[in-house]
Structure 1
Amino acid sequence: MEYEIKKVSLKDLDKTAELFNLYRVFYRQSEDYEKCKKFIKERIDNDQSSIFVVYAGDTAVGFIQLYKLYHYIKLAKQWLLSDLFVHPDYRGKGLSVALIDRAKQWCDETGACGLMLETEKTNDIGNKLYPRCGFEYDGNHNYYYWWK
C-alpha cells in the first residue's frame, strides 16, 4: 500500500479533526466534530503537540499525536505518544507501525531521548503492537489520575 505521512498544520485541520473524532468514538466518547476541531486547532496554534497524519492518496486514514515531556532520569526531552489511530478500513496494512516509526524519527529530529505511552489494559491491538515496535512494558509503576 502506498502512503505518505505528513506533519499536521492548520491546512490539515479538517481532516485531522475528523480522524480525532473517530478516535474518541473508538474510546467510547460522544461524537463531537466541532469540539475536536477546536481542540486540535488549539494544540497547533499553541505548539502544544506534534501531530502526523498518514494519507492513502488524498484520504487521511490515521494519525499520531505527541506531547513534549521531560525525563527526570535521562535529563532530556521525551515525547508522550498520546494518541494513535488508524481508520478501521485501513487497519492491518502496517500504518500504525509506520506512524510509530515516524514518531521515533521525530525523536531523532528533535533531540528527544525517546517515547513513552500508556494504553488501556483492554486495548488488545495496542498491547500487541507496542512490544512489536520495540516498546518495553513497565510493570513497576502505577499511574494515577486526578480529574477536576
Structure 2
Amino acid sequence: MDYKIKKASLEDLEATAVLFDHYRVFYRQQSDIEKGKAFLKERFLNSESDIFLAVVNDKAVGFVQLYKLFHYTKLQKQWLLSDLFVHPDYRGKGLSVALIDRSKQWCEETGACGLMLETEKTNDIGNQLYPRCGFEYDAAHNYYHWWR
C-alpha cells in the first residue's frame, strides 16, 4: 500500500478533525466533530502541538499528535506522544509504525531526547504496538491525574 506521512497544518483541519473524533469515540467520548475541530484549530494557531497525518490516495487515514514537554533528568526537550489513531479500515498495514517512526524522526529534527506516552491498560492494540516500536514499559512510576 502506498502512503505518505505529512506534517499537518491548518489546511488539514477538516480531515484531522474527523480522525480526531473517531479517536475520541474509541476512548468512549461522545462524538463532537465541531468541538474537536475547535480544539485542534487552537492547537494549530498557537503552535501548541505537532500533528502528522498518514495519507493514502490523498485521504488522511491516521494521525499522531505530539506535545512539547521537558525532561527533568535529561534537561532536554521531549515529546509527549499524546494521540495515535489509524482508521480501522487501514489498520494492520504498518501506518501506526510509520507514524511512530515519523515521531522519532521529529525528535531528531527538533533536538528532543525522546518520546513518552501513556495508554490505558485495556488498549490491547497499543500495549502490543509500543514495545514492538522500541518503547520500554515504565513499571517504576505511577501516573496520577488531577482534573478540575
In 1, Cα distance between equivalents of 2:112 and 2:57: 31
Gaps in structure 1 of 5+ consecutive residues: none
**Aligned-residue CA RMSD in angstroms?**
0.4
1:19 aligns with 19
In 1, Cα distance between equivalents of 2:107 and 2:56: 24
1:69 aligns with 69
Per-residue deviation at 1:58? 1.2
In 2, Cα distance between equivalents of 1:59 and 1:90: 11
Matches within 5 A, 1:110-125: 110-125=110-125
1:57 aligns with 57
In 1, Cα distance between equivalents of 2:66 and 2:11: 19
Matches within 5 A, 1:1-148: 1-148=1-148
SS at match of 2:135: coil
Task: Give the residue type in structure 2 aligned to 1:111.
Answer: G
Q: What is the TM-score normalised by the length of structure 1? A: 0.99
Q: What is the TM-score normalised by the length of structure 2? A: 0.99
Gaps in structure 2 of 5+ consecutive residues: none
Structure 1 runs of 4+ with >6 Å offset: none
| Percent of aligned pairs with the same amino acid | 75
In 1, Cα distance between equivalents of 2:66 and 2:89: 23
SS at match of 1:81: strand
Paired residues in the alignment total 148
In 1, Cα distance between equivalents of 2:119 and 2:147: 18
SS at match of 1:77: strand
